[in-house]
Structure 1
Amino acid sequence: EKLRQQDSCCNMLMVFIHTNRFKSDDKQYGKNIMIHLPYPTNSSITISKYAKLGLKKIFKPGYNYKKAGVIVMGIIPENQRQLNMFCEEDPKHKQLMQVIDNLNYSIGRKKLKLASQDLGRTWKMRQEKLSPRYTTKLNEIIKIKLFDTNE
């Protein structure tokens, strides 16, 4: 979506996964892979397809992964992309991405997603050691009771 907002395309992806290096009792593993796309694109469908292919190459079962991600690279302006003579992007992708972006703009960001995208929010910030927010949350203000010692 950001690439399309910027009228840009990417021609490379980096897919990465790794375990928590601070959990020494867990098996450790980390890997990344660079994927050169056959043509510059800003289609979420194409990017998702190649990101999943990259993940299949580096994923190993049996590890407790802490982090995974996709970084788009080789960003170029859309009007300067060089097309591939032997393979090209499905022309329907551009129309579909435009419809998805327009709907997300009108009904709310990230309401409409690809079926391959996670529909639920699986990541949640850990807040077990969160300090009290006395200055911003009224329900966390310290309450003091005074007792009259003269009675």
Structure 2
Amino acid sequence: MSRSFADRVAGHDAVAQALATFAVRACEKLRARGLVASGLWVFAHSDTFRPELPQHNATRSVVLPKATSDTTLVLGTVRQLLRGLLRDGIGYKKAGVALLDLAKPHDLQADLFAPAVVGNDALMATLDQINRKFGRGMAGLGASSWQDKPAWGMRQHMLSPNYTTSVHELPRARC
């Protein structure tokens, strides 16, 4: 998952929160499809359309020790990849997280002494169940922060109506 920010974000904490939020959502989608990931890629880009500003495009990837769909393990890896990735004085305009080498857990090559997949499946199932019942983001992990309007949020004031997916947004005709 990746998003362009509404404004340039210079704070390392804000970029880290954005990446954590993207990782949480990517893991939710992974579990919904019954998949696990064996690799992770993170990136942050400055505003290339403003060449007069300092530029920095950063990217890092890693192969995970074991395949997982556990958000806590993915967030720990994102935090490790962020160490030294961002530079001071740079306004980042876009950041993202990608889960790599996706597979069904039963298709993975097993190890003789350890399982092919790691993670706390019960915790993740409970978290997903709470969010399905009460709405996305009702329960989560602190790394992604729970702000209504985070510094890294998108601009959505020109968002198109959802005529095809939401009955409440259908235009009303009056005579």
Q: TM-score range by the shorter chain?
A: 0.7 to 0.9
* Residue deviations 1:9-68 (CA, integer Å, cap 9, x gap): 000011001100111221000011111100000011111111111121422222111111
Q: Which residue of 1 aligns with 2:118?
A: 89
Which residue of structure 1 aligns with residue 102 of structure 2? 75
Paired positions, count = 130
> Unmatched 5+ residue regions in structure 2?
1-27, 162-168
Aligned-partner residue type, residue 45 of structure 2: H
Q: Which has the higher contact order (CA 8 A, sep 6+)?
A: 2
Gaps of 5+ in 1: 139-151
Structure 2 residue 32 is matched with structure 1 residue 2: no
Q: Which has the larger radius of gyration?
A: 1
Q: Does 1:38 align with 2:65?
A: yes
**Residue 125 of structure 1 is aligned with which of 155, 159, 172?**
155
How far did residue 126 of structure 1 move?
A: 6.1
Counterpart-to-counterpart distance in 1, 2:103 and 2:84: 27
**C-alpha separation in 2, matches of 1:118 and 1:36:** 26
* Residues 2 and 118 of structure 1: CA distance in aligned 2, closer, same or farther (over 3 Å): same
Q: Cα deviation per residue 1:50-103 (whole Å; 9 max; x = unaligned)?
A: 11111214222221111111111100012223456579735xx21110110011
TM-score if structure 2 supplies the norm length? Answer: 0.66
5 Å-filtered alignment, 1:41-56, equals: 41-56=68-83
- Computed over aligned residues only, the root mean square deviation of the Cα atoms, in angstroms, reads 2.6
Aligned partners of 1:82 and 1:40: how far apart in 2?
Answer: 10
Structure 2 SS opposite 1:8: coil
Residue identity matched to 2:31: R
Instruction: Give SS of 1:58's match.
Output: coil
Match of 1:101 among 106, 110, 128: 128
* Rounded Cα–Cα distance in structure 2 between residues aligned with 1:65 and 1:108: 30
Q: 1:105–1:126: structure 2 CA closer, same or farther, 3 Å change rule?
A: closer
Structure number with higher helix proportion: 2
Q: Describe how 1:19-38 pairs up with structure 2 within 5 A.
A: 19-38=46-65
